[in-house]
A = this chain, B = another copy of it.
Amino acid sequence: MIVSMRPHASRAEIDHVCERIRDFGYKVHSIEGEERVVIGVVGVGGDVTACVESLEATPGVERAVRISAPYKFVSKEFKKDRSVLRIDNLEIGGDEFIVMAGPCSVESEAQIMETAIAVTSAGAKILRGGAFKPRTSPYDFQGMELAGLKLLAKARENTGLKIITEVMSDRDAEMVAEYADIMQVGARNMQNFALLKSLGRCGRPVLLKRGMSSTIKELLMSAEYLVAHGNSNVLLCERGIRTFETATRNTFDIAAVPVLNELTHLPVILDPSHATGKRSLVPAMARASVAAGADGIIVEVHPCPEKAVSDGAQSLTIPQFRDMMRQLAPYIELWKEWRAAQTSVAV
């Protein structure tokens, strides 16, 4: 930690700051500059966040900046090797690029079955579909809940696809865990810490979506919650952030892929459907996702988007999904070479 004092801070203020630092168990290393004193905080001591906040509240201090990363278990420093999430014979984060696909909401047996069969045959390995839906309006469709989960399970039996579905409350965690292979935490719940704690204890793999205005660092901190509470089976998901641009539903922060690959060992999944909000933009963004080095994508597909109860505008039709998968194939071949070469290269 580095504490920079205001210019002209008094000797008494500086001494008081040093004393506070020592109270937290750290050592003081001060640098007298031309304009101001800067204090290095070193050694092993108490609660770092509390110490930073305390110093920022202390008279004479201009800024206290933490230098070490605030997360630990999810960092590359903690674990150099890439984490691979295994579900039965399926590996995410390994040598295969994974495609998750399906409708925004589970709507009926016919709808989910038709989709499941179609996406399997086109190469998807995981079926997405919401049974609990976070909707901005209380008057919108809120999901089929338990009935939806059962339909997902049935689709799994028929196709062999794994199931990913959203959990919205710690109250539902157990129920969802009974049916889901991967529990999805939606963007709006990325900092629902009660939910994160319960998913930490629950143990099922979790796909954690980045909040629409969350920084990459905050995403990693939320992942740290899961790991610190016992669950290291975590996938990170970038799904677009909120900016001033309105031509797309969100702004697809694709640079998050190489950034995360430098910071963490966890797999990274991209969601070009939510990132753009528009069907016609999805294939180009899926190709870019493979090229950027993601571990997989999650894409919305619906047999009849104009009859979808939610997110129709961004859902691919089944033929469009097939076409996209054909487009992706040669990029995935390049991806495999790149992945294989990664162990030996560092830019």
Contacts and interface: CB of A to CB of B under 8 A. Distances in A.
Interface in A227-286: 228-229, 241-248, 251-259, 261-262, 275-276, 279-281, 283-285
Contacts of A4: 2, 67
Nearest to A38: B40
Contacts of A38: 2, 40, 67
A168 B192 CA distance: 8
5 nearest CB pairs, A to B: A57-B312, A213-B213, A169-B194, A291-B291, A56-B313
What is the count of identical protomers in the complex?
4
Interface in A198-226: 211-213, 215-218, 221, 224-225
Interface stretch (A137-145, A157-165, A176-184): A137-145
Contacts of A169: 169-170, 192, 194-195
Interface in A54-85: 54-59, 65, 67-68, 70-71, 77
B34 A44 contact: yes
A217 B244 CA distance: 12
Nearest to A263: B247
A212 B213 contact: yes
A77 B36 CA distance: 12
A187 to B, nearest CB: 9
Interface residues of A, number: 118
B280 A262 contact: yes
Contacts of A2: 2, 4, 38
Contact of A191 (B136, B141, B225, B307): B136
B258 A70 contact: no
23 contacts: A20-B306, A47-B140, A49-B135, A49-B139, A49-B140, A50-B310, A53-B312, A53-B313, A70-B136, A137-B224, A138-B228, A168-B194, A189-B192, A211-B213, A216-B247, A242-B244, A254-B254, A255-B281, A255-B285, A258-B280, A258-B281, A320-B347, A330-B334
